[in-house]
Amino acid sequence: MYMSKECKLLQLGFSSDTWGEVIAVFFSNGDVIGLMPLGLRLSENCTLTGRLYRGSKLYNYIISTSTAKLQCNICVTEEPQLFYLSIFEKSKVVKAFKKCECPKKFCDACLTGLCRFRYEEGEDVIRLTVDVEKVLFRKKSPRVFTRASSAFIEALVWFTKIPYVKCEEIEEALKRIEFLKEVVYRSTQRELYIKLIEEVYSKARELVSSVESIRCRSRDKNI
Ligand SMILES: Cc1cc2nc3c(=O)[nH]c(=O)nc-3n(C[C@H](O)[C@H](O)[C@H](O)COP(=O)(O)O)c2cc1C
């Protein structure tokens, strides 16, 4: 894949193998017509690609109006608050983005560009590509949020809990780690992350069987 040396998106943590979660805002004639958390991956020539699933208002808008492109802003932040607000208090966020292209209060970095939509008949997704025109840094080292890293860390936390959880909850802890492994699979193709999460899961299984045989099958349950 061709990537120019000065592709600033790499600095923000975007990559071609791992989904980066952002808040995307779509404009038409200056009006916000869509705002949503969205996963994006780095693609050829320093563009970003993503998928718009059936169900969102923007999906319906694009299908019903046959829109091929829209101006968009991509807000990069690792703070979960903006993701929350974009789901539960969308109108507040829309207002902030109408006032300012890149509200400092919310975004650590902002990308502005043109978003192109591609819809194939019979598919449930609209593929989108963002041609980034401008990158604005609001913080010294902004990074895009990745579900792969948060799921991996969460799996590690559950691994460290295994020796202490109640015997009747130990299988549940293992299930959580398995679920988090699935999240990592879905959110990255990076070999290192996949290898690491598989090791965590396999070590968790070993630990669970040893804890169960030592602690949970004796009369000293839950000690
Ligand atoms: C972190 C996160 C990432 C998401 N990624 C996507 C995505 O890549 N594509 C998509 O269609 N929906 C994605 N969603 C769901 C949309 O954000 C959601 O359907 C949208 O906010 C609904 O907007 P509406 O109320 O305007 O229809 C994601 C949600 C979250 C919380």
Could you read off the pLDDT of 173-221 as tens digits, one per residue? 999 999 999 999 999 999 999 999 999 999 999 999 999 998 887 555 5
- Residue at a domain's end among 92, 117, 137: 137
For 7-56, the pLDDT digits (tens) are: 999 999 999 999 999 999 999 998 999 999 999 999 999 999 999 999 99
Residue 35, pLDDT score: 97
Coil/strand/helix, residue 128: strand
Q: CB of 50 closer than 6 A to ligand 1?
A: yes
Q: Say if residue 19 is in the same domain as residue 89.
A: yes
Residue 142: inside a domain: no
CA distances from 174 to 108, 116, 156 (A): 36, 42, 11
Q: Name the closest-CA residue to atom 7, ligand 1.
A: 38
- Which residue's CA is the closest to the ligand 1 atom numbered 29? 37
With a 6 Å cutoff on the Cβ, whether 39 touches ligand 1 is yes
194 in the same domain as 124: no
Judge if 112 and 53 occupy the same domain: yes
Q: Give the domain extent around 165.
A: 147-216
Confidence of residue 121 (pLDDT cuts 50, 70, 90): confident
pTM of the model: 0.93
The atom of ligand 1 lying closest to the CA of 57 is 27
> Has residue 71 been placed in a domain?
yes
Mean pLDDT, the chain, whole residue set:
93
Are residues 118 and 34 part of one domain?
yes
Query: 152 with 131, same domain?
Result: no
Of all protein residues, whose CA lies closest to atom 13 belonging to ligand 1?
Answer: 38
Residues 16 and 58 in one domain: yes
Distance CA 165, CA 20 (A): 33
**Is 32 inside any structural domain?**
yes
In a domain, 158, yes or no: yes
Within 10 Å of residue 223's Cβ, how many Cβ atoms?
7
User: Residues 119-135: what's their mean pLDDT?
Assistant: 92
Q: Please give the number of the atom of ligand 1 that sits closest to the Cα of 147.
A: 1
Q: How far is the CA of 220 from the centre of ligand 1 (A)?
A: 48
CATH code where residue 131 lies: 2.30.110.10
Atom of ligand 1 nearest to the CA of 37: 17
User: Are 195 and 86 members of one domain?
Assistant: no
pLDDT in tens, 37-51: 999 999 999 999 999
**Residue where a domain terminates, one of 117, 137, 157:** 137
pLDDT at residue 217 in the model: 72
Q: Binning pLDDT at 50, 70 and 90, where does residue 223 land?
A: very low
The per-residue pLDDT for 120 is 82
Backbone angles phi, psi at 78, to 5 degrees: -100, -5
113 and 188 in a single domain? The answer is no
Q: What is the pLDDT of residue 149?
A: 97
Kindly give the distance from the C-alpha atom of residue 56 to the centroid of ligand 1, in angstroms, as a whole number: 7
CA of 195 to the centre of ligand 1 (A): 28
Please report whether residue 223 resides in a domain.
no
> Which one of 137, 167, 184 terminates a domain?
137
* HSE of 126, CA atoms in CB hemisphere, 13 A: 25
For residue 185, being part of any structural domain is answered with yes
Question: What pLDDT digit, counting tens, does each position of 57-102 carry?
Answer: 999 999 999 999 999 999 999 999 999 999 999 999 999 998 888 8
Is residue 166 over pLDDT 80? Answer: yes
In a domain, 210, yes or no: yes
Q: Is the CB of 82 under 6 A from ligand 1?
A: no
Structure confidence at residue 46 (pLDDT): 95
Q: Which of 35, 36, 115 to mutate to test the pocket of ligand 1 (most atoms within 8 A of CB)?
A: 36
Helix (H) or strand (E) holding 81, with range, is helix 80-88
